[in-house]
Structure 1
Amino acid sequence: MDVIKRDGRTEKASLDKVTRRAEALSDGLKVEPIAVAQRVVSGLYDGIKVTEIDVFLAETAGSMAAEHPDYAKLAARVMVSSLQKETGGLWDATQKLAKIGILSDEYVSFVDTHKHELEELIDYRRDYQFDYFGYKTLERSYLLKVNGEIAERPQDMFMRVAIAVAGNDLDEIKELYDLLSQGYYTHATPTLFNAGCKMQQLSSCFLLAMQDDSISGIYDTLKDCALISKSAGGIGLHIHNIRATGAPIIGTNGISNGIVPMLKVFNETARYVDQGGGKRKGSFAIYLEPWHADIESFLDLRKNHGKEEFRARDLFLSLWVPDLFMQRVEEDGDWTLFSEHSAKGLSDVYGDDFVRLYEQYEQQGLGVKTIKARSLMTQIIESQAETGTPYMLYKDACNEKSNQKNLGTIKSSNLCAEIMEVSTPEETAACNLASVALPKFVTQDGFDFDALHRVTKVAIKNLDRVIDVNYHPTDKIEKSNHAHRPVGLGIQGLADVFFKMHLAYDSEEARKLNRDIAETMYHASLEASCEQAQEKGTYDSYDGSPISQGIFQFDLWQAEPSSRWDWHSLKQNISQHGVRNSLLIAQMPTASTAQILGNTEAFEAQTSNIYKRQTLSGEFIIVNKHLVYDLEQRGLWTTEIRDNIILHNGSVQDIPAIPDDLKAVYRNIWEISQKAIIDMSADRGPYVCQSQSLNLWLASPTFAQINAMHFYAWKKGLKTGMYYLRSKPSANAVKVTVGGQQQDEDCLNCGA
């Protein structure tokens, strides 16, 4: 049986050669190279290419990840080794990509000029740090390609980002490259996609206002949505100002069809204009206040039943909920629905001003319809139980605890419900995101807050630079971004920190650590932004903001920080020099970047200790490596234990052989009280000047449970009370070959 080598020569297939290749890449890993090689050789065929053997070897090793997570590391090493043989490094990749016109002239020129210095900075050994899932995610969507063939290595991508963001200073480039390539923090997906490219659109999310309640206003907004989606941006759009069904149209002497037919047009635009040309689906979140007369039909848009003409299932629905609505529900009061054409300005005010205007319109009889507030809440909860949406965001908390309250009223968040910025018909708000990888700061002595503080400051400095080097899809975005300079730094891997430190997710120790991490990052971000302001000046709209008056986020929450950091001196410095950025901290989902770095997502608890993950990059077995390592230390990681975890849907709670202390640490999200999840979010809140993408999880949600969670989150003062409601499927998937029994090959346990 012949194998075709990379240079076109042929040689005989050999078990020894495949074994040696696996062995060479298995250094330090707890794997059996011969077992992998035997499976591979049995599937070879005459004329197979050596590159195809590498793919087969990697896929085989990856399929054995349920036996030990090191098999996923071996799989990644095989693919990295193959990629490095196929590619020539940074300068070679730059030349190839420049020929097809992807990269900017400035970037190409810089790499050409500083070729040797950059080659000294880059360390391709760091490519071997990824696991298989992380590497395949990079391969599928992030590494730039020429005619479908990958042209750059992961280190080339990190260097591309460092050069694009840090500018012409080699020391600054090295600082950023080292932190990215060693996994201390990462910029968000659009920055990794587009840095160094001709269309260098690096922002993650955009908040649009419906320009006007008119045909021209609606379609101008639709065009803006298409332009943003084209360049890989997620969109949040508020439509409170669109008149309701049956409202008069003066110009034509007709009546309005309401928001549903309009939203169907936005739905099809999201499907047609995907992000970055096939990299990710276009995504629009639509925000509506619950006083809008079309609220009931809005809540049905994603339901699985009903007439198709009244459905828009590709849109993400979100409610912008005033406190008055929650109070009326609590009191079992009436709730009046209005149309903007006759009851103007309700979305423009919040707090007491909203209550006065709303009650004035009620007294004037301007309502379209009056229903029981609890009836509408029932419809909201029914939609959430069926579809996971609408999101629940609390309008008054978002505005009262905003550092942008001097700019006007915030009327929506973004696609992922963590960005809080003012958007108007004249300005489209945007945000540039990054996340810190918290597990990197766990040491033998505990958690290294000083290192977290240092890395946070570097991340904030570079996020501010992103604004200046960014391509803005519309003039409205450029105007807003430069005037207010908002950034959002989040976290990933909080659950991994608890695993590494042997803390139960809902323990008091974990809760304190969670709060200390949030406080450290907020202090560091303000300090970095103040230092930037000292050098470059404050953001344009700084005067009149809460922070210009010495009011920090924790002051708006009426919370008291700890004595870990010197807040008094920081307030004095900011009073003297100001800050460079209106907003600094946002807790975003981090789904893709956490996959790349091998961390749990954002601040989420884990969904399962072992499951199969199906993504655009393929199908992957994910095992909780921390659990495996802990069980190994105690001599408990056996085939029997592994099969038991699979049989229990990734849970360890009912397995007698696993010690109680490990059961407490390795509970999954379904086994943790959602009250504890909300409390953790509320504890972070005073140090998060934007908001948090807070998912809530109920295996079999009931009306009473969902209702109780909403009221608890609202009363805790959260801005985002719920991003998605996650629930389990009605039937558990059957497991793959457990204990010698062949069973249906489906998900081990679906991750969210």
Structure 2
Amino acid sequence: MTIVSPSQPTASQPAAGQPTADQPSAAEIQLTVVRRDGNSTGFDATKISVALSKAFLAVEGPDAGSSHRVRDLVTDLTDRVVVALTSRGDARRSVQVEDIQDQVELALMRAGEHQVARAYVLYREERTKARTPATPAGVTEPRVLTVRTADGSTAPLDIERLRVIVSEAAAGLDAVDAELILNETLGACYDGIAQHEVELALVMAARSSVETEPQYSYAAARLLLDQIRREALGRVHGEPRQASQADMSTAYLSYFPQYVRVGIEAGMLDPELAAFDLERLAAAIRPERDLDFAFLGLQTLYDRYLLHIDKVRFELPQAFFLRVAMGMALREDDREARAIEFYELLSSFRFMSSTPTLFNSGTTRPQLSSCFLTTVQDDLAGIFAGIRNNALLAKYSGGLGNDWTPVRGIGAKIRGTNGESQGVVPFLKVANDTAVAVNQGGRRKGAVCAYLETWHVDIEEFLDLRKNTGDERRRTHDMNTANWVPDLFLQRVEAGGEWTLFSPDEVPNLHDLYGAAFATAYEEYERRADRGEIRVFRRVKAVDLWRRMLTVLFETGHPWMTFKDACNLRSPQQHDGVVHSSNLCTEITLNTTVDETAVCNLGSVNLVAHLAGSGTGLDVELLRDTVKTAVRMLDNVIEVNFHTTPESERANQRHRPVGLGLMGFADALFALRIPYSSEAAVAFADSSMEQISYHAIEASTELAAERGSYPSYDGSLWSQGILPIDSLELLRTARGGDLVVDTDQRLDWDALREKVRRDGMRNSNVLAIAPTATISNICGVSQSIEPAYSNLFVKSNMSGEFTVANPYLVADLKARGLWDQVMVSDLKYHDGILTRIERIPADLRELYATAFEIDPLWLVKAASRRQKWIDQAQSLNLYMSAPSGKALDELYRSAWRYGLKTTYYLRSQSATHVEKSTLQGTDGRLNAVPIALPEPTGAGCSIEDPDCEACQ
């Protein structure tokens, strides 16, 4: 609820600056308030509004904070009190606190709000009591209750054990009240209650307080952990077992070797894991790290990652991390030492592998790669081979990017039947339905993005694929789409020129050309069309097509804008092929052919975990250590990977690409007190990405010295000593200097160039920033490079709905005495956006500005500074609160001119809203414990859901 001062008019009030005859203007009110201790302070009408709001909340419940009636009434009553206090015409006098409170009571009574007035009186009495020493209340003895166990037997409710578990859950969380959780839990219990219902009651007792105190999210996670311990220990040991957190330092030692044996016997774990020194690995487990999960992270881990037999989990969180680490260390010489090193990185949340790696590492089907890029051939056999490969690749959790440009367009001749083609769209419909049918083992749906070059004659039909109107046979509601845009098209847009659309069967080499070579060939085909030598073509004004591309992007979120020439001219692998598309989430830019399906292997550094203790910047030594180990882990993924198609295996082994990215960027800015919309944030994006890039390239070249360079290294830009920062010049030259990119450097890049020339590179590509939707949830940090979407919201994913509050904001509001139930109501009413909440100081509004409050050009500028260091690309969402044709045009031309390779979603509407009610009615639903959940809607990302569930 916004606390509205008298300067904000309601329908029944005069505007600010227009006082009534007996009411001074706001500028004239200079009341002095005499406090109870005798000191004086300035009059603040917002304090009256807060007190009134609390009274309404007490009577009408937390939902009152979202009521327009209540909000308007609070504003009106506040104005009445101010009028009463200044009605004598003397606005420069002193008033007692009690006088103000008397006027509040009187205003409530005159308005007919008798119940609220009574609540306000009680509030005053409570405050009076609070100022006098209180007598400790006695503890009521709980009822004697019985609990029904899984085998049907009953036993007394062990209240002392509950007290231990709740105390452990609250340990180190100064704002969590363990007694409150315990009392609420006991209040929800009944005689004969099932064991799992007791565990649910514990979790719910903590979870319902998350919106008012984020620390309860950690308490709820620890209470859920108790349930996971009972389930996993019992399944592994073959008998009912319970353990407190204090027990786990010894329990993990006996559990872990048995866990591996149970997993192997069930056919789920690779039998080779048994050859590890399991006792040595068990001794390296850090049980205390089970306490580092927030509730969303642990619930997500339970629902989607922890291994189970007949839906009974037998994998504990630290066993999960160690299993993933062991799977990536299988080919190492000292496997135990490397597994422990990898485990340390994962369990500390300094680095997290992508979802397919977490799903499958150490299992009997170790498909660990994240993304696959394919090119579809222009004949029936090739088209359906591509669709078949989509299904095989998606089966084990891969996200897909398909290049459909080679497929001939509408009206093109089919020699075999002497007929005419119906174009690419009918085949895209089949690919769409295939993606929906392959649900990746029930853990998430198959997800695919189709790419088409802007000169394809079917481009206008392609733009309409995601529309909700038109012929459903030519719509793909579950498939993502992206424009693959050559520089020449945008140059024609800016020049006001015409653009010619072709069918690829008549202009076959355009698909493989870029830069100056593309422009030369394209213009020759236009001349051939003018001479009547080309059968299927169409002319449009370039700016008209551009406007339509932007309009459809605004309406449907698709097709995304990705830039062909920037991807190819800066590709280290341009000697060995062409980048024909990006992937599902637009961060991968690898070559594809009919014979090679590009593969990328992803993981992300948690940036906020690498801040120096003083909060002044990055701990560069820690970051270097993390990146070095992370690159080794990603390279190992290629060694142990299970490939579902020969085309993907061929590409993965020849080029060995990996994509190291980052997450927690917004958290790092909060910790450093840097607003996202500032030059300081742009500079931090630059310097942090430079550090990651430098150390990732250094790690890959050190691996090359140890293991050898990737097979297609010779002739690459790496082999010529051209690093990503250097390839900017190739793009600048091709565009005739039309490139706006800062080229400042801080590290010793000359030394690294020499090292790369001397020792080679283990990986053709090393850097890519993925969306990190689910892995950032596990780590409890902000997604990828995203700004904060909201400061208080209900997050929906496959694991249910979770209230998320910005802990940095809450801490700041607490420090300034502003965090209370009224503030919670305000945040919920305004969807977590601070602009209209007057109580919040301006510096906090600036620091915690959310995505739609930030000028999207700041996002482009920060992305440009990162892109100069990255050999692939980044998943960059763009947010626009008030889109217009002009604003969209300027934004996407800026993205192109600032050197970005790709963009991702355009978000121009709310992706989710805070439930404008208390958690007792929403987030407190009985989905707080591990249960079977429905499939997500849509494939991969959607404009309604800010998460990419496809590759991260």
Question: Which SS does the other structure have where 1:414 is aligned?
Answer: coil
Query: Residues 90 and 152 of structure 1 are in contact (CA less than 8 Å); yes or no, is this contact kept in structure 2?
Result: no
**Ranges in structure 2 where 5+ consecutive residues have no aligned partner:** 1-144, 234-254, 730-740, 926-943, 948-952
Distance change in 2, residues 1:734/1:138 (3 Å): closer
Deviation of 1:566 after TM superposition, in Å, equals: 2.1
After the TM superposition, which residues 337-352 of structure 1 pair with which residues of structure 2 at under 5 Å, given as runs?
337-352=501-516
Structure 1 position 132 matched with structure 2 position 277: no
AA at the equivalent of 1:481: N
Q: Which residue of 2 aligns with 1:728?
A: 909
How many pairs does the alignment contain?
Answer: 742
Per-residue deviation, residues 412-444 of structure 1 (Å, max 9, x unmatched): 011010101001001110000000001111233
Taking structure 2 as the reference length, the TM-score comes to: 0.75
Query: Residues 63 and 620 of structure 1 are in contact (CA less than 8 Å); yes or no, is this contact kept in structure 2?
Result: no
User: Structure 1 residues 2-11 or 143-152, which shifts more?
Assistant: 2-11
CA distance in 2, matches of 1:634, 1:750: 34
CA distance in 2, matches of 1:63, 1:296: 50
CA distance in 2, matches of 1:725, 1:441: 30
CA distance in 1, matches of 2:889, 2:227: 53
Query: Residues 124 and 155 of structure 1 are in contact (CA less than 8 Å); yes or no, is this contact kept in structure 2?
Result: yes
Structure 1 position 83 matched with structure 2 position 228: yes
Deviation of 1:356 after TM superposition, in Å, equals: 1.1
Query: Residues 608 and 751 of structure 1 are in contact (CA less than 8 Å); yes or no, is this contact kept in structure 2?
Result: no
Deviation of 1:36 after TM superposition, in Å, equals: 2.9
After the TM superposition, which residues 240-259 of structure 1 pair with which residues of structure 2 at under 5 Å, given as runs?
240-259=405-424
AA at the equivalent of 1:303: K
Q: Which residue of 2 aligns with 1:47?
A: 192
Query: Residues 439 and 494 of structure 1 are in contact (CA less than 8 Å); yes or no, is this contact kept in structure 2?
Result: yes
Q: Which residue of 1 aligns with 2:314?
A: 151
Q: Which residue of 2 aligns with 1:26?
A: 170
Query: Residues 403 and 546 of structure 1 are in contact (CA less than 8 Å); yes or no, is this contact kept in structure 2?
Result: yes
After the TM superposition, which residues 147-296 of structure 1 pair with which residues of structure 2 at under 5 Å, given as runs?
147-167=310-330, 168-210=334-376, 212-275=377-440, 277-296=441-460
Query: Residues 257 and 279 of structure 2 are in contact (CA less than 8 Å); yes or no, is this contact kept in structure 1?
Result: no
Query: Residues 700 and 728 of structure 1 are in contact (CA less than 8 Å); yes or no, is this contact kept in structure 2?
Result: no
Question: Which SS does the other structure have where 1:364 is aligned?
Answer: helix
Query: Residues 496 and 599 of structure 1 are in contact (CA less than 8 Å); yes or no, is this contact kept in structure 2?
Result: yes
Structure 1 position 658 matched with structure 2 position 824: no
User: Structure 1 residues 506-515 or 9-18, which shifts more?
Assistant: 9-18
Query: Residues 18 and 41 of structure 1 are in contact (CA less than 8 Å); yes or no, is this contact kept in structure 2?
Result: no
User: Structure 1 residues 686-695 or 367-376, which shifts more?
Assistant: 367-376
Query: Residues 186 and 434 of structure 1 are in contact (CA less than 8 Å); yes or no, is this contact kept in structure 2?
Result: yes
Q: Which residue of 1 aligns with 2:480?
A: 316
User: Structure 1 residues 169-178 or 602-611, which shifts more?
Assistant: 169-178
Q: Which residue of 2 aligns with 1:593?
A: 775
CA distance in 1, matches of 2:921, 2:580: 55
Query: Residues 236 and 287 of structure 1 are in contact (CA less than 8 Å); yes or no, is this contact kept in structure 2?
Result: yes
User: Structure 1 residues 375-384 or 704-713, which shifts more?
Assistant: 375-384
Question: Which SS does the other structure have where 1:246 is aligned?
Answer: strand
Distance change in 2, residues 1:307/1:216 (3 Å): same
Residue 103 of structure 1, aligned match among 264, 269, 281: 269
Q: State, as a whole percentage, how many aligned pairs show the same letter.
A: 38
Question: Once superposed, what is the RMSD of the aligned Cα atoms?
Answer: 2.2
Distance change in 2, residues 1:643/1:733 (3 Å): closer
CA distance in 2, matches of 1:500, 1:219: 51
AA at the equivalent of 2:465: L
Structure 1 position 443 matched with structure 2 position 607: no
Structure 1 position 522 matched with structure 2 position 693: yes
Deviation of 1:9 after TM superposition, in Å, equals: 4.8
Per-residue deviation, residues 339-367 of structure 1 (Å, max 9, x unmatched): 01222211110011111111111111125
Question: Which SS does the other structure have where 2:804 is aligned?
Answer: strand
Per-residue deviation, residues 84-114 of structure 1 (Å, max 9, x unmatched): 233233323322222221122212x224xx1
CA distance in 1, matches of 2:912, 2:599: 41
CA distance in 2, matches of 1:45, 1:385: 53
After the TM superposition, which residues 206-605 of structure 1 pair with which residues of structure 2 at under 5 Å, given as runs?
206-210=372-376, 212-275=377-440, 277-365=441-529, 366=534, 367-445=536-614, 446=616, 447-558=618-729, 564-605=746-787
Per-residue deviation, residues 650-682 of structure 1 (Å, max 9, x unmatched): 012222322222222111111111111000000
Deviation of 1:166 after TM superposition, in Å, equals: 1.8
Distance change in 2, residues 1:51/1:87 (3 Å): same
CA distance in 2, matches of 1:742, 1:52: 19
Taking structure 1 as the reference length, the TM-score comes to: 0.95
Residue 636 of structure 1, aligned match among 802, 813, 818: 818
AA at the equivalent of 2:552: S
Distance change in 2, residues 1:178/1:388 (3 Å): same
Per-residue deviation, residues 99-149 of structure 1 (Å, max 9, x unmatched): 221122212x224xx121111011222111100000011011111111011
Deviation of 1:20 after TM superposition, in Å, equals: 5.2
CA distance in 2, matches of 1:459, 1:226: 29
Deviation of 1:473 after TM superposition, in Å, equals: 1.0
Distance change in 2, residues 1:543/1:731 (3 Å): closer
Deviation of 1:269 after TM superposition, in Å, equals: 0.5
Deviation of 1:751 after TM superposition, in Å, equals: 5.4
CA distance in 2, matches of 1:21, 1:375: 65
Deviation of 1:560 after TM superposition, in Å, equals: 7.7
User: Structure 1 residues 230-239 or 92-101, which shifts more?
Assistant: 92-101
Residue 203 of structure 2, aligned match among 49, 52, 58: 58
**Ranges in structure 1 where 5+ consecutive residues have no aligned partner:** none
Deviation of 1:14 after TM superposition, in Å, equals: 7.6
After the TM superposition, which residues 702-713 of structure 1 pair with which residues of structure 2 at under 5 Å, given as runs?
702-713=884-895
CA distance in 2, matches of 1:645, 1:515: 32
Query: Residues 613 and 751 of structure 1 are in contact (CA less than 8 Å); yes or no, is this contact kept in structure 2?
Result: no
Distance change in 2, residues 1:60/1:297 (3 Å): farther
Query: Residues 15 and 38 of structure 1 are in contact (CA less than 8 Å); yes or no, is this contact kept in structure 2?
Result: no
Q: Which residue of 1 aligns with 2:147?
A: 3
AA at the equivalent of 1:301: L
Query: Residues 742 and 865 of structure 2 are in contact (CA less than 8 Å); yes or no, is this contact kept in structure 1?
Result: no
Query: Residues 585 and 771 of structure 2 are in contact (CA less than 8 Å); yes or no, is this contact kept in structure 1?
Result: yes
Distance change in 2, residues 1:412/1:702 (3 Å): same
Query: Residues 492 and 594 of structure 1 are in contact (CA less than 8 Å); yes or no, is this contact kept in structure 2?
Result: yes
CA distance in 2, matches of 1:426, 1:137: 37
AA at the equivalent of 2:848: Y
Q: Which residue of 1 aligns with 2:214?
A: 69
Per-residue deviation, residues 420-476 of structure 1 (Å, max 9, x unmatched): 100100111000000000111123322212211221111111111111111111111
Deviation of 1:41 after TM superposition, in Å, equals: 3.2
Per-residue deviation, residues 530-561 of structure 1 (Å, max 9, x unmatched): 11111111111111111111111101114786
Q: Larger radius of gyration, structure 1 or 2?
A: 2
Distance change in 2, residues 1:491/1:729 (3 Å): closer
CA distance in 1, matches of 2:776, 2:447: 20
Query: Residues 828 and 915 of structure 2 are in contact (CA less than 8 Å); yes or no, is this contact kept in structure 1?
Result: no
Query: Residues 519 and 561 of structure 1 are in contact (CA less than 8 Å); yes or no, is this contact kept in structure 2?
Result: no
AA at the equivalent of 2:171: D
Distance change in 2, residues 1:675/1:560 (3 Å): closer
User: Structure 1 residues 162-171 or 214-223, which shifts more?
Assistant: 162-171
Per-residue deviation, residues 284-336 of structure 1 (Å, max 9, x unmatched): 10000011111111111111112211111111001110011111222222111
Question: Which SS does the other structure have where 2:454 is aligned?
Answer: coil
CA distance in 2, matches of 1:416, 1:5: 46
